Structure 1
Amino acid sequence: MAAVIDTLPSPVRLQAVAAPGQPEPTPALSQLYRGFEEELLVPLWTQIGSLMPPHPRSKAAPHLWRWERLKQLAAEAGQLVPVGRGGERRAIALANPALGGQPYATPTLWAAIQYLMPGEHAPEHRHTQNAFRFVVEGEGVWTVVNGDAVRMARGDFLPQAGWNWHAHHNAATEPMAWIDGLDIPFAYYTESQFFEHGRDQLS
């Protein structure tokens, strides 16, 4: 395997340029850069402007999602999309318009409206991603975390650390929706995303 890897062309491309903060371009510097390329090395002085900019440069763009429209579409999904194993949750993610259609509100945040019909149960599972729930309106849903039932009502903010068992149950006579947030993009980027099914029914 090592011999195969050694034959791959280097993806590193370095160019000696005359610019502030850069060493003077010379044949010796160009030769040094060729050595860096061969050994898959990238010097900080050629990258610091993009790696450590003077202020944040988010890829996301400002966007306003209107709650009433989100709730309307979630209610339609409530009539068409079941909750259970497979999809796990009737959760509809916010896709920032500048992130190429990915289901991310920002580069590090997955946020969604989750919708439960009366009597519905979102089955137990756990994942390494950290999460929160923010209740915009309504009450009657209980979230069960590691066996402990927690009531959810308007204005509640419920943080949840990763790898804790959790499920949701709507004990009310009306549907309920809330905002979920998870650091899914961050976990995906760091290759630390894991998921496990729990009980199908809570006792």
Structure 2
Amino acid sequence: MTQPSTAPDTAQDSPVRLQAVSAEGQPEVTPALEDLYRGFEQQLLVPLWTEIGDLMPAHPRSRAVPHLWRWTRLRELAAQAGDLVPVGRGGERRAIALANPSLGGRPFATPTLWAAIQYLMPGEDAPEHRHTQHAFRFVVEGEGVWTVVGRDPV
């Protein structure tokens, strides 16, 4: 008795779609190359020689557009959030991310950078958290504010 395979049976089941093209720096289009590409599709593999221009362009091609977030309006909305949203985990530390208008409403200023405003009321502590990305904190208003890095208040 044979077990059913969980791997895609044909390239049709795979999200990988490859097309051999005649272009400088590309292999010659042959039936053998087409067979190789079908094998790649079935095994969810992408040969980088077909993608290198998109993976490593000579110049950035960001979809982000310049946008100006006005501090006075951000401050008003953050203060409103201070009255309505708890600072605990439910309010995700009451952080409000800037969303670039050309990035589909996602919380990113650019595709590789995000920025957020955190609003804390006097005497409030935001819950501790960890993350792998770097974070820079700037206190715009207030005093007696610190963050803890490796158990050291900064």
TM-score category (smaller protein)? 0.7 to 0.9
Which of 32, 40, 56 is the equivalent residue of 2:60? 56
Identity %: 74
Q: 2:8, 2:42 within 8 Å by CA — same for their partners in 1?
A: no
Residue matched to 1:71:
75
- Does structure 1 residue 110 correspond to structure 2 residue 114? yes
- Counting matched residue pairs gives 149
Q: CA deviation at 1:79?
A: 1.9
Q: Structure 1, residues 121-177: CA drift from partner, whole Å, max 9, x if none?
A: 223x22123322012344232434455444xxxxxxxxxxxxxxxxxxxxxxxxxxx
Q: Structure 1, residues 32-60: CA drift from partner, whole Å, max 9, x if none?
A: 32333334332222111111211122232
| Bigger proportion of residues as helix | 2
Q: d(CA) in 1 for partners of 2:88 and 2:28?
A: 63
Which of 2, 16, 19 is the equivalent residue of 1:15? 19
CA RMSD of aligned residues (A): 2.6
State the AA in 2 paired with 1:89: R
TM-score with structure 1 setting the length: 0.62
Q: 2:98, 2:108 within 8 Å by CA — same for their partners in 1?
A: yes
TM-score with structure 2 setting the length: 0.78
Q: d(CA) in 1 for partners of 2:55 and 2:41?
A: 19
Give the secondary-structure state (helix, strand or coil) at the position aligned to 1:28: helix
Give the secondary-structure state (helix, strand or coil) at the position aligned to 1:131: coil
**Farther-moved stretch of structure 1 (135-144 vs 109-118):** 135-144
Structure 1: gaps spanning 5 or more residues: 151-203
Give the secondary-structure state (helix, strand or coil) at the position aligned to 2:93: coil
Q: CA deviation at 1:2?
A: 7.3
Larger relative contact order (Cα-Cα within 8 Å, sequence gap ≥ 6): 1
Which of 5, 8, 12 is the equivalent residue of 2:7? 5
Give the secondary-structure state (helix, strand or coil) at the position aligned to 1:29: helix
- Does structure 1 residue 127 correspond to structure 2 residue 127? no
Residue matched to 1:31:
35
Residue matched to 2:104:
100
- Cα distance change, pair 39–83 in 1 and its aligned pair in 2 (3 A): closer
Q: Structure 1, residues 61-116: CA drift from partner, whole Å, max 9, x if none?
A: 22111212111111121222222242241211111112211112222333111111
State the AA in 1 paired with 2:66: P
Q: d(CA) in 2 for partners of 1:127 and 1:101?
A: 25
Q: d(CA) in 2 for partners of 1:145 and 1:79?
A: 28
